[in-house]
Amino acid sequence: MSSNTSCKNILVVSGASSGIGKEILLLLDKLIRAGKEQADEIWAIARSTDKLEALAAQVKTPVIPVTLDLSDRGDLLKLKEKLEQEQPRIRVLANCAGFGYFDHTENIDTDLLLNMVDLNCTSYVAMINYALPCMPEGSRILNIASCAGFQPIPYINCYAATKAFVLNYTRALNVELKYKNIHCLAVTPFWTRTAFFDRAINADKKPVVINYAAMYDAKAVAKKAVKDLYSKKEISCCGFVNNGQRILVRLLPKKLVMKVWMGQQKLDGTPGIRP
């Protein structure tokens, strides 16, 4: 990337059309308006152009809708080309795109699982590597992991494993990028009220999860995440129940953790979900 001191400052938020990603974008806009962050534009990335345009009408900072499917390698390359062409200075990169699916692994189509890995993991790696040449000293990276990343979870195994990847990848990346003063934060939400469940749950089948220990608000999760990002914390974990579980699953044998989960949800380990 060429050195261009006059290039624009931007913030990039993926998964910006709803949920935690949308709330993070709204909070970043407030920081810009308060003079606590420098940005000429916010690039909002999602698959829905209509939702991005509606979001742009809610904020004061100019929002550039970038309609992409980040699970598609071709679309990721389009973003790379856009960055190389415009050469912005990325002050904040917030990777918030992702999805999960609840079911026994034998009931889930392989393409869906691979798509999950591509969006939850591959896109984060690509986004960061494409963005790094554009990130000046003092910039920030926020990755949405999950409390699921702290433990193996039967019937949600692939999703939990992708979030374990994001969690460990982000923590290691934070160490590697300290020499450039680029800070990386892993956000680990508990169950949160978002459109996540629209895709994670098959309404035509018995539910996998019947016992939610707690359900958090996306605004609260986003507020703590942005605060922790600017406080240079390594992990953002919102809520008493979330923090308590995080500690317990670290101390207890993983075999016991999975046994407790199966008992809570009355799961028997078969593709039939439960008797």
Q: For 200-245, write each residue's pLDDT tens digit.
A: 999 889 999 999 999 999 999 999 999 999 999 999 999 999 999 9
Closest C-alpha to 189, from 153, 235, 156, 227: 235
For the chain, how many helices (H) and strands (E)?
A: 10, 9
What pLDDT score does 6 carry?
56
Q: For 252-269, write each residue's pLDDT tens digit.
A: 999 999 999 999 999 999
Q: For 11-70, write each residue's pLDDT tens digit.
A: 999 999 999 999 999 999 999 999 999 999 999 999 988 889 889 999 999 999 999 999
CA 16 to each of CA 4, 37, 106, 119, 232: distance values in angstroms, whole numbers, following the listed order: 28, 18, 32, 14, 22
Burial (0-12, 13-18, 19+ Cβ within 10 Å), 5: exposed
The partner residues of 14 in beta bridges, in order of sequence, read: 45
Query: Who's near 113: CB < 8 A, 6+ residues apart?
Result: 101, 105, 158
Is 3's pLDDT higher than 70? no
What pLDDT score does 274 carry?
72
Is 77's pLDDT higher than 90? yes
Q: What does pLDDT average to over the chain?
A: 95
What pLDDT score does 5 carry?
47
Provide mean pLDDT across the span 124-150. Answer: 98
Question: 273 falls in which pLDDT band (50, 70, 90)?
Answer: confident
- What residue type is 243 in one-letter code? N
